[in-house]
Structure 1
Amino acid sequence: MKKLATKQCTVAAALSFTGIGVHNGQPSSIIIQPAAPDTGFSICRKFEDGHLSDVFPLEHDRVARTYLCTAVDLGDAGTISMIEHVVSALSGLGIDNAMLIVDGPECPVLDGSAGKYVDAIVENGVSIQPAEKKFIKIKRSIIVRSNDAFAALEPYNGRAFDVEIDFESDVIGRQRMIFDWTPARYATDVSTARTFGFLRDAKILRQAGYALGSSLENSIAVDEDKIMNSDGLRFEDEFVRHKLLDAVGDLALAGMPIYGKFRSYKGGHGLNALVLNGLFASEQNYEIVNAKDLPLEFDALEDVPLGMDSQGYIRSVG
């Protein structure tokens, strides 16, 4: 059944996840807590002695670094990186408000996708809030470029993503995914796509302090013309699906869901951040609108399938 979502929502209860950081290789945990209406996504750091840092909004002007992942600045508490997967899960499911508590400088990578976050959120449910759901409606096109790569936001009657990648690799090659957003489609078609990397880059990255926690348990490893993971790919085009997953998370740092179309070619975290900067450079580029004033319908959250089979695919349960 299709329903028009006009009210904001948050997670029904606190959810905890533990794992390691894919880059620093250190143990890491994160708690997703319910948050009040109109607070959006926020984040704080939990230190070894148990005290919490100040709480900061997860918004585009807090982005501190975009190399290999998205990191946000928490002032004296330092930075927290790899926030894009958990925020992608929240935004992808249509959740408006949540607070993240992270106990280190990096969010846990889990299985390299957003699937475990999605599963837990759907299984535990959401809390509908009294405040009106709001969107950032794109009024004028914004495009940012880096050589032949680009990212763009455009007016569109809906929420859509058009992501294309092009790698000089026979395993990946050129892939494109056009995605009209609903929570159910995000859960089944996007959330379980894993991050990936090339074995030829592994030594250089580790010498630079990156990918220290990367393994076949949390990443797709590409060695020239073959996939090193024994279980293969979850989707034939899993690589572009993960790029779309990242884009959903990065664009959630707009502070509200975007009503419009996002397009990218050879994009990544850096261009995703730049296109948000371009969006907010002028108030002529957008307007804030209430959900009830938009012709936006999507599957209700209770219709989202949940559960992971042994291969990591979303399956329906119940």
Structure 2
Amino acid sequence: MHKLSARQCTLAGDLEFSGFGVHSGVPVTLTITPAPPDTGYQISRKMDDGSIVGPVAVHFTRVTRTTLCTTLDLGESTSIATIEHIVSALSGMGIDNAYITLNGLECPILDGSAMPYTAGIMRVGIQIQPAARRYIKVKRAVTVRNNDAFAALEPYNGRVLDLEIEFDSEVIGRQRMIFDWTPRLYAEKIAAARTFGFARDRKALQQAGYALGSSLENSILVEENQILNPDGLRFEDEFVRHKMLDAIGDLSLAHGGLAIYGRFRSYKGGHALNALVLNSLFASEANYEIVAAEDLPLSFDALDDLPDGLEVNSYLRSVG
């Protein structure tokens, strides 16, 4: 039998989350359910009349907007916004296959981080599946730029993200984080980092139809040189950690949920550059290849590095 860390995973049970969209302010319920091997991430929207649009693959070619969040086109004039936090949690925790269903136009913001989703995954556990995990191996470096901002994907023997941000704010300033992925480190260092914004932009954003559901309960609010949230920050560098959370989510759109085996680097990046670098990677087959996990060194995602309390179920015992 191949080692379990080279096998695909899905959830061991169903999850449901209710809340409202941070931009729309509209109530929404999201469910995540187990999916068979090689499904990837599939998303559906339940419409007001009870009809279902989808499921369709969560895929970078379906990205239609990247202003303040990532929005996917499901077809039939239907879209879903702010998809990045939920797929970040799935990818960060090593889930390969899942069905996602919403009854609204935007994923619930919950507390502004991916921790509620991550905690849910830990609660229901994961199911090891009898199919080889696959990765997108970066063979040739690609870079996209916007003035001094850039995002790059490069060949690397592992999964690492090197992300740097810079804001004209004494509270944030310049922050950098290098994240060598494992599920445990995702749960401990990334998942709880919340989205953030500036008080000076709030009125203009709301007039433009954004941040209608934003509050101190789901966002870090920066005014001049202070944090307005009464409880302060969860991490001293929570801002760059949330940008890392977003990047992990956006990059999981590469091929319906397949993880990237390589190095991601970014400076002053965001959803737009994250989407552009995926387009650049897949512009030529010389840039990448799909590789079975068993053909790669997998010490970075061994099952013994799962977070404490995460139950692992396996029916591989019955199939070989």
TM-score, normalised by the number of residues in structure 2: 0.93
Which residue in the other structure is 1:217 paired with?
217
Range that drifts further, 210-219 or 287-296: 287-296
Following the alignment from structure 1 to structure 2, what is the Cα–Cα distance between the partners of residues 111 and 92?
A: 18
Q: Which residue of 1 aligns with 2:282?
A: 280
Shift of 1:302: 7.6
Partners of 1:48 and 1:195 in 2: CA distance: 29
Candidates 256, 265, 268, aligned match of 1:266: 268
Cα deviation, residue 78, structure 1: 1.2
The answer for the alignment partner of 1:161 in structure 2 is 161
CA shift for structure 1 position 300: 2.0
8 A contact 1:193–1:235 mirrored in 2: yes
Deviations 1:25-71 (A, max 9, x none): 01011001111111111101011233211211001100010000000
Amino acid at match of 2:79: T
Equivalent residue letter for 2:182: T
How many angstroms apart in 2 are the aligned matches of 1:240 and 1:26?
28
Distance 1:303 1:155 in 2: 25
Contact 1:122–1:302 (Cα < 8 Å) also in 2: no
Structure 1 residues 48-103: Cα deviation after superposition (integer angstroms, max 9, x where no partner): 23321121100110001000000000111511000000000000011101111011
Counterpart residue number, 1:231? 231
SS in 2 for 1:36: coil
* Structural RMSD (CA): 1.3
**Aligned AA (2:214):** S
Please give the alpha-carbon distance, in whole angstroms, between the structure 1 residues aligned to 2:304 and 2:45.
Answer: 29
Unaligned runs of 5+ in 1: 308-318
% identical aligned pairs? 62
Q: 2:85 is aligned with what amino acid?
A: H
Residues 118/105 of structure 1: CA separation in 2 closer, same or farther (3 Å cut): same
CA contact (8 A) 2:135 2:259 kept: yes
Query: Number of residue pairs matched?
Result: 305
Q: Distance in 2 between matches of 1:25 and 1:115?
A: 20
Structure 1 partner of 2:307: 304
Q: Which residues in structure 2 correspond to 1:102-181 (within 5 Å)?
A: 102-181=102-181
The two structures have a TM-score, normalised by structure 1, of 0.94
**C-alpha distance in structure 1 between counterparts of 2:148 and 2:272, whole Å:** 14
Partner of 1:41: 41
Which of structure 1's runs of 4+ aligned residues deviate more than 3 A?
A: none
Query: Which residue pairs with 2:182 in the alignment?
Result: 182
What does residue 293 of structure 2 align with? 291
The residue type equivalent to 1:200 in the other structure is R
What is the SS of the residue equivalent to 2:76?
A: helix
Letter in 2 for 1:123: R
2:315 corresponds to: none
Q: Is the 8 A contact 2:85 2:245 kept in 1?
A: yes
Structure 2: stretches of 5+ with no match in the other structure: 311-320
Residue of structure 2 in register with 1:63 after alignment = 63
How many Å separate the matches in 1 of 2:51 and 2:37?
Answer: 25
1:222 is aligned with what amino acid?
Answer: V
CA contact 1:122–1:301 (8 Å) conserved in 2? no
Change (3 A) 1:306 1:229: farther
Q: Which residue in 1 is equivalent to 2:244?
A: 244
